[in-house]
Amino acid sequence: MISDDLRSEATPDGSPPSVAFVIWTVALREMAEQVRGLRFLLVVALVLALTPLAVYVGTSDFRSRLEDANRLAAEQAEMVARVRDNGRGVDISWTVPWTTESELAAVRSVRPPEPLSVLVHGLDGAMPQYWDYSATGLILGPPAWQPQWLADVLGQLDFEFLIRVALGLLAVLLAFDAVAGEKELGTLRALLSQPVSRPALLTGKLVGGIFTLLIPLVTSFLLAVLVARVFGVDLLLAGNAPKILLLALTSSAYLVCFFSLGLLVSSIARTQRTSMVVLLVTWVLMVLAIPPLASLLGKTVYPTTPAHVLQKRKAALDDDVRRQAEQAMGDAYREITGMPEGWADTRKYEANKEAVDQRIAPIIVDYLKKRRQLIDDIDREAGRRAQRQNDLTRTIMALSPAAAFAGAAADMAGTGDAQRSAWFNAAYREQLNLNTVLFDDPPSVMINNRGAQFRASLHKAPSASDLPRFAPPGRNAAANASRALSLLGLLLSTTALFIAAGFVAFSRYDVR
């Protein structure tokens, strides 16, 4: 009994034991009891058995995505070489009926996978494998990950999921009877009759619980890094060590949060049964229900149109405007060269190039202006809606520590929303750069003389090496962490709130 321990140490000179001593004794006792308990053994065995599996699947996924990305990059280098060899340069600014796959690929931005996705899969597989650039804006490549139909029905399992769900549950299971159980057994009375302050007692329980939770957490992290190493992904390379450390810290903050929530409920509840029912239901709501509900609610309140539908919409609108411009240019061409309707001859154009170019220049400018406006309108509206949706979703998600943890973990591993928007912004910047050099200054245009089309080359197309280079977003730990810090702060303040409320509830507990 804890009370025996306290009495034996406290009596030599009759003065009450120091606060630090009480906390230490209670914490050690708690740990010793919890570690031997059934729940600890069961859950820890489960987590330690599943960790190697989750990490193995993570590494094999990562490696296959890495292979894909490398192959795409090699293909792109080949495309660039081909475009350079043919000496025509990159000329994709005017949408033409036939595909120009190689030229399109010459300005492609390929995204390599993130090594820490082995632990926190996050969005790494769901983000586009590459971005293409076109006259009507960004084109998203396919997701890096082949969609897995069964996984969608049954759900994914990665290392982060194990911590969030299994260890999160352990935190709750360890805490539910910490106070309520002693109330029922009557040991709390005995304990409080000793010269022990209530805050010190609760702090002892808190510290003991935290240390108990740290054992499986640290073990599973070490195991995960080791297993990843065995399967050929060294997670400690390339400045990843601080990120993993941050990840472990965030994970422990998350576990502490659930444990202190458990202590709070346990202090309020009269019986362990009530405490447990309330805690388990809260746990299910916070871990499994609120996060997806938040995303769905966000989408219901501020619906957005998927990117691929927007792409199609832009292309369809551009098609109409462009065809008008092509026909207007055809009229000008016919007038100057005297060709009959429905006839096209590039040589006639070359012979009268100056005159025709002068006539069609304002038509092109007018078309480009219209196109820009139409694309900007669609983009701006879509961006505004996406922003509002995202804000609402994040606000609702802040209600759940599990959601905050998942968000922070993904951001720290570089597979989260922060990294996603960084990539999209980088791609968007590249699109703007390409707009100025390429898309808003088309090297050639299609001219349509009542059904007969030909391609008129206005000036030399820029070579692939002249185009602005794509600058991928940095992946240093500090930049990722700064985005995650607000979420971590939220997690910590929620924890502080739970602890404070727990102290108040415990101090108000009526022993009688």
Q: Which of residues 113-172 bind another protein (CB under 8 A)?
A: 122-123, 125-126, 140, 142-143, 146-157, 161, 165-166, 169
Contacts of another protein in 302-361 (CB under 8 A): 303, 305-309, 312-313, 316
Check residue 452 and report its DSSP letter: E
**185 lines the binding site for another protein (CB under 8 A):** no
Q: Which of 212, 393, 449, 495 binds another protein (CB under 8 A)?
A: 393
Using CB under 8 A as the binding criterion, the count of chain residues that bind another protein stands at 79
Give least dist CB 388 to another protein, A.
Answer: 14
Give least dist CB 40 to another protein, A.
Answer: 10
**270 lines the binding site for another protein (CB under 8 A):** no
3-state SS string for 358-387: HHHHHHHHHHHHHHHHHHHHHHHHHHHHHH
Give least dist CB 331 to another protein, A.
Answer: 21
Q: Which stretch binds another protein (CB under 8 A): 13-21, 207-215, 296-304, 359-367?
A: 296-304
Report whether 274 contacts 236 (CB < 8 A).
no
Contacts of another protein in 400-459 (CB under 8 A): 403, 406-407, 410, 417, 420
Nearer to another protein, 100 or 194 (CB): 100
Q: Which of 77, 81, 238, 281 binds another protein (CB under 8 A)?
A: 281
Q: Which stretch binds another protein (CB under 8 A): 53-61, 77-85, 456-464, 469-477?
A: 53-61
**497 lines the binding site for another protein (CB under 8 A):** no
Q: What are 132's strand-pairing partners?
A: 139
In whole angstroms, what is the distance from residue 473 CA to residue 111 CA?
A: 10
Nearer to another protein, 53 or 236 (CB): 53
Report helix, strand or coil for 248: helix
Give least dist CB 490 to another protein, A.
Answer: 16
**50 lines the binding site for another protein (CB under 8 A):** yes
Q: Which residues contact 419 (CB under 8 A, 6 or more apart)?
A: 114, 123, 411, 473, 475, 480
Contacts of another protein in 70-109 (CB under 8 A): 71, 97
3-state SS string for 96-128: CCCCCHHHHHHCCEECCCCHHHHCCCCCCCCCE
CA distances (Å), 432 to each of 412, 427, 474, in order? 29, 9, 19
Pinpoint the alpha helices (H) of 231-306: 241-268, 272-284, 290-301
Beta strand pairing status for 444-449 and 137-140?
A: unpaired
Q: Which of 29, 39, 198, 385 binds another protein (CB under 8 A)?
A: 39
Nearest to 265 by CA among 257, 281, 276: 276
User: Taken in order 140, 142, 144, 149, is the CA torsion positive or negative?
Assistant: positive
Q: Which of 48, 223, 280, 458 binds another protein (CB under 8 A)?
A: 280
Radius of gyration of the chain (CA): 32
Give least dist CB 316 to another protein, A.
Answer: 5
**230 lines the binding site for another protein (CB under 8 A):** no
In whole angstroms, what is the distance from residue 136 CA to residue 134 CA?
A: 5
Nearer to another protein, 161 or 211 (CB): 161
